[in-house]
Structures are given as C-alpha cells and as structure tokens.
C-alpha cells in the first residue's frame, strides 16, 4: 500500500488527552490496583509506586474516576474526611471501604502528572450533590465544602478542570436511568449549578450513539457543555472465557468504530454545535468487562448476603476471570491501535479518550504480589503517547489491501493496513498497523520532500496473533531499528503495531 502526504495538508491537531484512562471502583482496579497500602510497592500514601511509574512511562494525560456504573449511586461525601464509614455499593453489590476517595484520587493524579476527571452521580444524585462536589474541589475557602476540604488537609483547591454529568444514564443497566427528556433537563440544571460554582470547568454529559438522546440533550443543555461522552466495548464474553478470534476482532476495526463518531459529528453539525462541543470517548476497550448476575433477578430466592453460595460463586467469583492475562493478545493491541487511529483521523472532533480501565479488569496493566504485567495494550500507549506528533496530516492512499468476512452474521470489510501520519517538531511519526494474521505488508511512503531523510521503526509484536504476556512470560514487546536512510518502503510484520519515525 502506498500513502502520499505533505506537511501542507493537515487534518487537525491531535489532543494528547486521546491517550487517557479510566479507573472505577470495581474488582481490583482501586483496592489491589492503584491503592494497596499492604503491598511492598506501596508508597507513603499507599499507592502502588510501580503502577505510578508505568502510568508516567506512557505519559498518562488524564484519568476519569470513580465510575462507570459505580458512580450512579455514589455519595462522594462518604469518601472524604477523617472517618471513612464503609458503604454498600449497590452498583457492584460489594462493600466499599471509602478509604480511597476524592482527596486520594487527586493526590494520585498529581503523582502521575495527569489531570483528574471526575464523573458525577446523575443516577441517584442531584444538581445540588454535583455542584457541592465542585465546591469541595475547586472553591478556595467559601462555604461549607471548601472549608471541609481544608479541614481534611488540602488547604489549596484541587482545581479539577474536567467534570462529567452522569454515566450511561440512558441504559436500563444503570442505577437512576433517565429518558431523553428527563436527561436534558437534569443535565441543564446540574450544569447551571456546577458552572455557578466554577465557570472555568469543562463539562461533559453522558451520551450515546442515538439521535433522539442527543437532540434532547443538546437542545436542552448544549449551551452549557464542552463535551459529550461516548462509550464503546466491542467484544464481550458470555462466560468470561469465550471471545472472538483474532481475525474476527480485526473485522470489527472499521465502521464499528468510526460509525458512532461520524454520527456524533452529524448530530453536532445539525445543531450548529460543531467546533463548540467535542467528543470524549471516555470509556473504550475492545473487551467488555465480565461481571455476570449483577442483577440476579432470575434467582430471587437466593439470599443476598456474602454467605450465599450463589452470590459468592456466581456473582463475585466470576469477576476474577477478567484477570486472566492470556485473554489479552495482539488482537487487543492492534484493535487499540485501530481505535486510536480512527480518533486521530477525527482529531478535530474527538479530543479525549479514556481506556477502560487502566489497571486490572481489562486494563493495560495487571498487578500482582510481586510486581506488574504489561499487557499488549500498554505498549500501544507507550508508542503513541511518546512518539506521535501533534499535527495529523491528510494522506492519499493507493493499493490498499482489504480483509472481509462475517461478524455476527454481518458482512464486514476493513483495510488490512491502517496508517495515520503525524508531523511536528523534528519531522514525522506514522502509526501503521498490519492487521493481517499471517502475511507481511509493505507500506510505501511518498513524502513530497523526502530529500536526505532518515527513518527509525518501532514495532510492537509477538510470535503469533494470540501472543500475550503474563507473570514470568514476556512474549509481546517493542523492538526498535537503528536510524537508516529513508528508502520509502517499510515492511510491516503480520499482526503488528508500528510507529515509523522520519527525521
Ligand atoms: O462493565 C463496566 C461498565 O461498562 C462501566 O461501569 C459502565 O460505565 C459501562 O457500561
């Protein structure tokens, strides 16, 4: 495949917040993930120093917290103050110690060097609750909540810039689900109160790829919003063991990713909001999280407390299956590259994305007693966040090979090679995927001023499409070539994620 590009034809500026992450009070993301005072890797605040180091290594720009479904019945007041009284988490049906709350989250973000992004409770919560939370975080000293923050040991405001109203309140699975009209009104009234506390915050609201939902939300509250939030998970599992094969995953990297972005662009343009409101894809992962029987309505005779066998073996126990590192292969890496490439091609609209989640569950990092495992997805962020430049260029493609097949009975065709060209200080960086499970592809780069240039190639790969990393097993990683004279042709190994530097 040949691509032709010029620094004079740009698509837009890539926002670094495309390489963001999400952290939820679910399973081992917080407790045993980022926060583990008993761990030998714990720092003075009880945070896993090895996890912080890994997040700094991929230049994490922003982290969204505390949920996710968890947030829709979360009282943020339970997570601040000297005394933390445990609460029952109605979203995930476990006890929450509240040892990790707002102050701990902000402190963790400062250590990582990333922006905190708080998603508020629009399930059981009110406009009052959401705006009180902004008072607690961002007012200097006026009123009860700023004074509480000071008394809790944070004399300076936390200065949380990014806030979201609600999480998936469009869905029946969510506590406090709303219909489109209710949602527009609640977002409008919540946004008014939150902005009266701090007019400088950036506000998002839960959205979905649905015309009625967005028309109602944007007509009622569009004037107060800077973002709309989209979520995407493409490969769930009926049993926490069975997943799409590599090739099927690749067939999901075309319209299944770009469609929702294209339609969001249409909604915003139709309402004259393009350029004002951007898309925050603030939960995305190839794989949906595995947590069966959360609402075990078909088992009403089961006792609902921790001694119950059904609860223990069919509700809580299966969540450990998310921890199987063999699930996360080059399919996850190449899919993640394809998702980010789609966002980069739409960088004028998609300005934030949060990988869901960053630690444990389906995350890029897996923690265990003796250290961490870096799953294949981790290295995609390491390459993209460290090497891609700020300007995304348009490019003209010729001879693009394609892959076709059926996914859930639907015919899908996708480009086998997926390349995005960026340029900036020092030259160019091209993110190039070869989705083919077996064949090498060649990428011809026609750079209009390619006199006397050099190229260096970073390749993320493993010995097979199903290669993975685990404790004591490192199959997937990055190899880097030396700088070499630019010849225009770049080999792309099968099932690989590559970043090609040109200087
Ligand atoms: O499976 C985890 C859930 O996925 C998150 O809590 C929610 O936001 C999304 O539906």
- CATH 2.60.40.1180 residue ranges for the chain: 391-502
- Span 101-125, average pLDDT: 98
Q: In the predicted model, is pLDDT for residue 1 greater than 80?
A: yes
Q: Does the beta carbon of 116 sit less than 6 angstroms from any atom of ligand 1? A: no
For residue 295, the model assigns a pLDDT of 72
Instruction: With beta carbons less than 8 A apart as the criterion, state whether 350 and 14 touch.
Output: no
pLDDT digits (tens, 9 = 90+) for 62-73: 999 999 999 999
Structure confidence at residue 25 (pLDDT): 98
Q: Which residues are catalytic?
A: 168, 283
> Cα separation of 96 and 75, whole Å?
11
Task: Indicate the burial class of 16 (C-beta count within 10 angstroms; 0-12, 13-18, 19 or more).
Answer: middle
CA distances from 201 to 135, 226, 350, 388 (A): 12, 9, 19, 28
Please count the other Cβ atoms lying within 10 Å of the Cβ belonging to residue 186. 24
Give per-residue pLDDT as tens, 136-178: 999 999 999 999 999 999 999 999 999 999 999 999 999 999 9
pLDDT at residue 304 in the model: 60
Arithmetic mean of pLDDT over the chain: 95
Backbone angles phi, psi at 214, to 5 degrees: -75, -40
Quick one: pLDDT at residue 494?
Answer: 98
pLDDT of the residue at 192: 98
DSSP state of 318: G
Atom of ligand 1 nearest to the CA of 291: 1
Q: Which residues contact 211 (CB under 8 A, 6 or more apart)?
A: 263, 267
What's the mean pLDDT in 387-408?
Answer: 96
Q: Are 255 and 342 in contact (CB under 8 A)?
A: no
Atom 2 of ligand 1, residue of closest alpha carbon: 289
**Cα gap 378→31, rounded to integer Å:** 20
Average pLDDT for 35-44: 98
Q: What's the pLDDT tens digit per position in 132-147?
A: 999 999 999 999 999 9
Average pLDDT, stretch 254-259?
A: 97
Tell how far CA 66 is from the center of its chain.
13
Q: Indicate the top mutation candidate among 29, 288, 361 to test ligand 1's pocket, ranked by most ligand atoms within 8 A of CB.
A: 288
- Do 446 and 5 contact (CB within 8 A), yes or no? yes
The pLDDT of residue 448 is above 90: no
Query: Ligand 1 centroid vs 69 CA: distance in angstroms?
Result: 5
Domain 391-502: CATH superfamily is Golgi alpha-mannosidase II (2.60.40.1180)
Q: How does 359-374 read in b/e, with b if 16+ C-beta sit within 10 Å?
A: bbbbbbbbbeeeebbb
What would the pLDDT profile of 339-393 be if each residue is shown by its tens digit?
999 999 999 999 999 999 999 999 999 999 999 999 999 999 999 999 999 999 9
How far does CA 325 lie from the centroid of its chain? Answer: 19
Q: Is the pLDDT of residue 296 over 80?
A: no
The CATH architecture assigned to 15-387 reads Alpha-Beta Barrel (3.20)
Residue 212 pLDDT level (bands cut at 50, 70, 90):
very high
Q: Which of 62-71, 297-306, 370-379, 401-410 has the lowest mean pLDDT?
A: 297-306
pLDDT at 444: 95
Q: Which of 372, 369, 335, 330 is CA-nearest to residue 355?
A: 335
Which residue intervals of the chain bear CATH 3.20.20.80?
A: 15-387
Check if 132 has its Cβ closer than 6 Å to any atom of ligand 1. Answer: no
For residues 101 and 94, give the distance between their C-alpha atoms in angstroms, rounded to a whole number.
16
Residue 488 Cα to ligand 1 midpoint, Å, equals 44
Task: Return the ligand 1 atom nearest residue 288 CA.
Answer: 1
52 with 109: CB under 8 angstroms?
no
Tell me, using a 6 A CB cutoff, whether residue 67 lines ligand 1.
yes
Convert the pLDDT of each residue in 194-204 to its tens digit: 999 999 999 99
Would you say 113 and 169 are in contact if contact means Cβ atoms under 8 Å apart?
A: no
Residue 184 CA to ligand 1 center (angstroms) comes to 21
Q: How does residue 294 score in pLDDT terms, banded at 50, 70 and 90?
A: confident
Instruction: Report the separation in Å between the CA atom of 330 and the middle of ligand 1, taken as the mean of its atom positions.
Output: 23
């Amino acid at each position: 495949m040949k691509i032709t590009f010029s620094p004079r034809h740009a698509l837009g500026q890539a926002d670094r917040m495309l390489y963001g992450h999400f952290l939820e009070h679910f399973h081992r993301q917080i407790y045993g993930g980022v926060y583990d005072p008993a761990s030998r890797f714990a720092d003075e605040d009880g945070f896993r120093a090895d996890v912080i180091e890994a997040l700094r290594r991929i230049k994490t720009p922003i982290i969204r917290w505390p949920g996710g479904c968890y947030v829709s019945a979360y009282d943020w007041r339970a997570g601040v103050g000297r005394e933390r009284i445990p609460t029952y988490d109605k979203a995930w049906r476990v006890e929450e110690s509240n040892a990790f709350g707002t102050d701990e989250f902000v402190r963790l973000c400062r250590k990582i060097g990333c922006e905190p992004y708080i998603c508020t409770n629009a399930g059981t919560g009110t406009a009052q609750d959401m705006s009180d939370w902004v008072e607690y975080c961002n007012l200097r000293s006026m009123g009860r909540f700023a004074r509480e923050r000071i008394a809790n040991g944070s004399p300076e405001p936390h200065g949380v810039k990014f806030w979201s109203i609600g999480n998936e309140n469009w869905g029946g699975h969510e506590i406090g689900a709303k219909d489109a009209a209710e949602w527009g009104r609640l977002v409008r009234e919540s946004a008014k109160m939150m902005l009266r506390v701090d007019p400088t915050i950036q506000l998002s609201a839960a959205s979905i790829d649905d015309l009625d939902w967005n028309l109602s939300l944007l007509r009622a509250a569009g004037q107060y919003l800077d973002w709309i939030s989209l979520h995407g998970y493409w490969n769930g599992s009926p049993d926490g063991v069975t997943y799409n094969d590599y090739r099927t995953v690749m067939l999901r990297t075309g319209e299944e990713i770009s469609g929702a972005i294209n339609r969001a662009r249409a909604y915003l343009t139709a309402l004259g909001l393009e350029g004002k409101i951007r898309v925050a894809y603030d939960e995305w992962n190839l794989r949906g999280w595995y947590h069966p029987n959360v609402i075990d309505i078909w088992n009403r005779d089961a006792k609902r407390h921790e001694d119950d066998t059904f609860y223990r073996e069919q509700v809580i126990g299966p969540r450990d299956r998310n921890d199987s590192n063999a699930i996360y292969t080059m399919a996850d890496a190449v899919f993640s590259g394809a998702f980010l490439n789609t966002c980069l091609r739409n960088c004028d609209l998609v300005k934030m994305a949060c990988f869901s989640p960053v630690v444990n569950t389906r995350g890029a990092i897996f923690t265990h007693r003796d250290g961490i495992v870096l799953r294949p997805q981790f290295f995609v962020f390491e390459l993209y966040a460290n090497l891609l430049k700020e300007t995304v260029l348009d490019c003209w493609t010729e001879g693009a090979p394609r892959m076709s097949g059926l996914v859930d009975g639907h015919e899908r065709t996708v480009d086998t090679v997926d390349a995005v060209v960026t340029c900036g200080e020092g030259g160019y960086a091209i993110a190039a995927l070869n989705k083919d499970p077996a064949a090498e592809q060649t990428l011809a780069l026609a750079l209009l001023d390619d006199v006397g240039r050099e190229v260096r190639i970073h390749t993320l790969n493993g010995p097979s499409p199903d290669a993975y990393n685990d404790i004591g097993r490192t199959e997937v990683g990055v190899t880097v070539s030396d700088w070499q004279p630019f010849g225009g042709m770049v080999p792309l190994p099968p099932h690989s994620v590559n970043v090609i530097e040109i200087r």
